Amino acid sequence: MNLLVLLAIVLLIIAGHQLLRVIELSRGLKKTKEWQVTDSDNDMMGKAMLMFMFVFFAFFFWQVNRWNDRALPPAASEHGAKIDALFDANVYLITFVFLVTNFFLFWFAYKYRGNSQNKAVYYPHNNKIEMLWTVVPAVALTFIIIFGLKYWNEITAESNDANKVVIELYAKQFDWTARFAGKDGKLGETDFRQISSTNSVGMDTSDVVGFDDILVKNEIHIPVGREIELHMRSRDVIHSAYLPHFRAQMNCVPGMVTFFRFKPTKTTAEMRKDPYVVQLMAGINKQRATENKEPVEFDYTLLCNKICGASHYNMQMNVVVDTEADYNAWMQKQKAVKTVASK
Amino acid sequence: MSSPTSSTLEKEHLSHHAHVHDHDDHEESFVSKYIFSMDHKVISRQFLITAVVMAVVAMTMSIIFRLQLAWPGEKFAFINAVLGDKWGKDGILDPNMYLALVTIHGTIMVFFVLTGGLSGTFSNLLIPYQIGARDMASGFLNMLSYWFFFLSSVIMLASCFIQDGPASAGWTIYPPLSALPEAIPGSKLGMTLWLVSMAIFIVSSLLGSLNYIITIINMRTKGMKMTRMPLTIWAFLVTAILGVLSFPVLFSCALLLIFDRSFHTSFYLSDIYIGGRPLDNVGGSPILFEHLFWFLGHPEVYIVLLPALGMASEIIATNSRKPIFGYRAMIGSILAIGFLSFIVWGHHMYMTGMNPFLGSVFVFTTLLIAIPSAVKAFNFITTMWKGNIQYTPAMMFAIGLVASFISGGVTGIILADSTLDINVHDTYFVVAHFHIVMGLSAIFGMFAGVYHWFPKLFLRMMNKKLGYIHFWLTTLTAYGVFFPMHFLGLAGVPRRYYTNSNFPMFDNLVDINEIVTICAIVGALAQGVFLFNFFYSIFRGEKSPQNPWKANSLEWTTPMAHLHGNWPNELPEVHRWAYDYSKPGYEKDYVPQTVPLADGEEDGGEH
pLDDT at residue B27 in the model: 64
| pLDDT of B6 above 60 | no
pLDDT at residue B26 in the model: 55
Contact check, Cβ <8 Å, A238/B286: yes
pLDDT at residue A339 in the model: 54
pLDDT at residue B452 in the model: 97
Name B588's bridge partners: none
pLDDT tens string B438-455: 999 999 999 999 999 999
The overall average pLDDT reported for chain A is 92
Would you tell me which residues 151-210 of chain A have a C-beta closer than 8 angstroms to some C-beta of chain B? 151-153, 155-156, 173, 192-193, 195, 202
Of B344, B400, B304, B397, which is closest to residue B109 (Cα–Cα)?
Answer: B304
- What is the DSSP code string of B110-155? IIIIIIIIHHHHHHHHHHHHHHT-SS-S-HHHHHHHHHHHHHHHHH
Would you tell me which residues 105-144 of chain B have a C-beta closer than 8 angstroms to some C-beta of chain A? none
| pLDDT of A147 above 80 | yes
CA of B351: which chain A residue's CA is closest?
A250
Omega into B176 within 30° of 0, i.e. cis? yes
- Determine which helix (DSSP H) or strand (DSSP E) holds B259, and give its type and residue range: helix B231-262
Distance from CA of B365 to the nearest CA of A (A): 10
Q: What are phi and psi of B496, to 5 degrees?
A: 60, 25
pLDDT at residue A158 in the model: 87
pLDDT at residue B143 in the model: 94
| pLDDT of B4 above 60 | no
Distance from CA of B120 to the nearest CA of A (A): 26
Q: DSSP assignment, residue B509?
A: G
Nearest beta carbon to residue B392 from set A37, A101, A248: A37
B174 CB within 8 Å of a chain A CB: yes
| pLDDT of B13 above 80 | no
Measure the CA–CA gap between B588 and B590, rounded to whole angstroms.
Answer: 6
Residue B275 CB coordination number (10 Å) = 12
B579: chain A residues, CB-CB within 8 Å: 124
pLDDT at residue A69 in the model: 92
A332 CB within 8 Å of a chain B CB: no
A113 CB within 8 Å of a chain B CB: yes
Q: In terms of DSSP bridges, do strands A239-243 and B277-278 run parallel, antiparallel, or are they unpaired?
A: unpaired
Contact check, Cβ <8 Å, A144/B96: no
CB B129 within 8 A of CB B121: no
B413: chain A residues, CB-CB within 8 Å: 90, 93-94, 141, 144
Interface test with B, best of A107, A145, A152 (most B CBs within 10 A): A152
Q: In terms of DSSP bridges, do strands A316-322 and A214-217 run parallel, antiparallel, or are they unpaired?
A: unpaired
The overall average pLDDT reported for chain B is 92
The ipTM (two decimal places) reads: 0.94
Would you tell me which residues 251-290 of chain B have a C-beta closer than 8 angstroms to some C-beta of chain A? 269-274, 278, 282-287
| pLDDT of B194 above 50 | yes
Distance from CA of A341 to the nearest CA of B (A): 20
Q: Taking CB atoms and an 8 Å cut-off, how many pairs form between chains A and B?
A: 369
Confidence bin at A338 (pLDDT 50/70/90): confident
**Counting beta carbons within 10 angstroms of the beta carbon of residue A226, is it exposed (0 to 12), middle (13 to 18) or buried (19 or more)?**
middle
pLDDT at residue A2 in the model: 77
Measure the CA–CA gap between B409 and A323, rounded to whole angstroms.
Answer: 43
Residue % of chain B over a pLDDT of 70: 95
B199 CB within 8 Å of a chain A CB: no
| pLDDT of A341 above 60 | no
CATH of B40-606 given 1.10.8.60, 1.20.210.10, 3.90.230.10, 3.90.1150.10: 1.20.210.10
Confidence bin at B564 (pLDDT 50/70/90): confident
Of A83, A321, A297, A313, which is closest to residue B505 (Cα–Cα)?
Answer: A297
pLDDT tens string B419-438: 999 999 999 999 999 999 99
Which strands sit side by side in the sheet containing A316-322, from one edge to the other? A219-223, A316-322, A300-304, A239-243, A248-252
**Counting beta carbons within 10 angstroms of the beta carbon of residue A204, is it exposed (0 to 12), middle (13 to 18) or buried (19 or more)?**
middle
Three-state SS sequence of B377-430 = HHHHHHHHCCCCECCCHHHHHHHHHHHHHHHHHHHHHHHCCHHHHHHHCCEHHH
Contact check, Cβ <8 Å, A313/B499: yes
pLDDT tens string A14-70: 888 888 888 777 777 777 888 999 999 999 999 999 999 999 999 999 999 999 999
Measure the CA–CA gap between B38 and A216, rounded to whole angstroms.
Answer: 66
pLDDT at residue B439 in the model: 94
Contact check, Cβ <8 Å, B419/A240: no
Contact check, Cβ <8 Å, B284/A255: yes
CA of A136: which chain B residue's CA is closest?
B371
CA of B377: which chain A residue's CA is closest?
A101
Measure the CA–CA gap between B157 and B194, rounded to whole angstroms.
Answer: 9
Helix then strand then coil, in percent of chain A rounded to 5, is 50, 20, 30
Residue ranges per structural domain of chain B = 40-606
Q: What are phi and psi of A13, to 5 degrees?
A: -60, -45
Q: Which residue ranges form the domains of chain A, and what is each CATH number?
A: 39-115+122-156 (no CATH), 165-342 (2.60.40.420)
Residue % of chain B over a pLDDT of 90: 90
Taking the alpha carbons of B243, B245, B248, B252 in that order, is the dihedral positive or negative? negative
A104: chain B residues, CB-CB within 8 Å: 381
| Distance (Å) of CA B298 to CA B243, B348, B557, B575 | 11, 8, 37, 38
A251 CB within 8 Å of a chain B CB: yes
What would the mean pLDDT of B330-347 be, rounded to a whole number? 95
| Distance (Å) of CA A264 to CA A77, A88, A271, B422 | 4, 21, 11, 16
| pLDDT of B116 above 50 | yes
Measure the CA–CA gap between B380 and B316, rounded to whole angstroms.
Answer: 7
- What is the DSSP code string of A209-261? GGGG-EEEESEEEEETTS-EEEEEEESSS-EEEEEGGGTEEEEE-TTS-EEEE
Measure the CA–CA gap between B119 and B124, rounded to whole angstroms.
Answer: 7
Contact check, Cβ <8 Å, B177/A237: yes
A231 CB within 8 Å of a chain B CB: no
Distance from CA of B595 to the nearest CA of A (A): 18
Q: What are phi and psi of B273, to 5 degrees?
A: -125, 115
Omega into A174 within 30° of 0, i.e. cis? yes
Residue B186 CB coordination number (10 Å) = 29
pLDDT at residue B2 in the model: 42
Would you tell me which residues 54-83 of chain A have a C-beta closer than 8 angstroms to some C-beta of chain B? 55-56, 59-60, 63, 67-68, 70-72, 80, 82-83
Measure the CA–CA gap between B290 and B304, rounded to whole angstroms.
Answer: 20
Contact check, Cβ <8 Å, A152/B360: yes
pLDDT tens string B16-37: 444 444 444 556 777 777 788 8
A332-341 burial by CB neighbour count: b if 16+ within 10 A, else e? Answer: eeeebbeeee
